[in-house]
């Protein structure tokens, strides 16, 4: 299939086939459109996500290869396992979505310009209110010290970003998410693009075709209605 950069029609939510995405930059599929909940849900349902910086047009991506973490193979090394046994963190789901996304946008370790611009934050707040965007929070002494957020369509969870302000807090959030999904027979977390941190936690790269197959299976998997209700989560160590 030939690679062609597409411009989205503001009067249609349709996206081009992900196989039209460019090889360079890897995965760039389309420009334009908007960040309405309907368009975002359509994008994620097709394995496409927005990623752009301030003063740029909205860019839509479907990279090849794709990074995922198999929930059965998330990596807990000896150091992390020892930490988990003595940690005093509390873990919650959907207690502080807006604070998590704000912290992710301003994470001190992020040296490059953030892609979580104000319009993106507003858009994901809307998705959260509709029950399609969720957060995992890590607390210490009532202070939010780590977390992550992402988009879920049935059993398909696409992670967007994470942050930490205390040792291993983002790892704890990721492990909690993995165990939550695994407990409902969900086999993977979509990580979009790999990086050293994700690789250290067990992320692997698979082809776009294999990812789409797994994504389609996950989307067809219904989860119990209470999975994303605000509540405390507990790790199995």
The Cα angle at residue 162 between residues 233 and 59, in degrees rounded to 5:
130
Residue 1, in any domain of the structure: no
Q: In the beta sheet, which residues pair with residue 139?
A: 90, 144
The verdict on 56 and 130 lying in the same domain is: no
Residue 72: C-alpha distances to residues 49, 95, 181 (Å): 25, 26, 10
Q: How far apart are CA 79 and CA 180, in angstroms?
A: 22
* 10-47 pLDDT per residue, tens: 889 999 999 999 999 999 999 999 999 999 999 999 99
Tell me the residue range of the domain where 55 lies. 6-63
Model confidence at 76: pLDDT above 90: yes
Q: In the beta sheet, which residues pair with residue 149?
A: 135, 161
Residue 97, SS3 per DSSP: helix
The verdict on 204 and 155 lying in the same domain is: yes
* 104-123 pLDDT per residue, tens: 998 655 445 567 889 999 99
The verdict on 46 and 135 lying in the same domain is: no
Residue 102, in any domain of the structure: yes
Residue 215, in any domain of the structure: yes
Average pLDDT of span 193-198? 96
Q: How far apart are CA 163 and CA 171, in angstroms?
A: 9
Sign of CA dihedral 109, 114, 115, 118: positive
Residue 168, in any domain of the structure: yes
The verdict on 39 and 103 lying in the same domain is: no
Model confidence at 182: pLDDT above 90: yes
pLDDT at 193 (0 to 100): 96
Residue 62: C-alpha distances to residues 51, 70, 115, 206, 208 (Å): 10, 19, 16, 12, 8
Residue 15 is part of a domain; what is its CATH number? 3.30.70.3550
Number of separate domains in the chain: 2
Taking the model in full, what pTM does it have? 0.94
pLDDT at 222 (0 to 100): 93
């Amino acid at each position: 299939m030939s690679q062609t950069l597409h411009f989205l029609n503001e009067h249609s939510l349709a996206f081009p086939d992900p196989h039209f995405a460019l090889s360079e930059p890897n995965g760039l599929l389309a420009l334009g459109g908007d960040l309405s909940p309907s368009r975002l849900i359509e994008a994620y349902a097709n394995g496409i996500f927005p990623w752009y910086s301030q003063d740029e047009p909205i860019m839509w991506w479907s990279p090849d290869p794709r990074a995922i973490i198999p929930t059965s193979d998330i990596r807990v090394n000896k150091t992390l396992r020892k930490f988990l046994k003595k940690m005093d963190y509390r873990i919650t789901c959907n207690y502080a979505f807006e604070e998590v996304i704000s912290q992710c946008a301003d994470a001190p370790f992020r040296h490059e310009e953030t892609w979580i611009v104000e319009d993106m934050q507003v858009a994901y707040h809307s998705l959260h209110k509709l029950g399609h965007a969720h957060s995992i929070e890590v607390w210490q002494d009532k202070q939010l010290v780590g977390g992550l957020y992402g988009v879920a369509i049935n059993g398909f969870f696409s992670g967007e970003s994470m942050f930490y302000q205390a040792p291993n807090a983002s790892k704890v959030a990721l492990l909690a998410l993995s165990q939550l999904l695994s407990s409902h027979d969900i086999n993977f977390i979509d990580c979009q693009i790999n990086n050293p941190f994700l690789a250290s936690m067990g992320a692997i790269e698979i082809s776009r075709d294999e990812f789409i197959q797994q994504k389609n299976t996950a989307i067809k998997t219904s989860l119990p209605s209470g999975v994303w209700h605000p509540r405390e989560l507990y790790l199995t160590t």
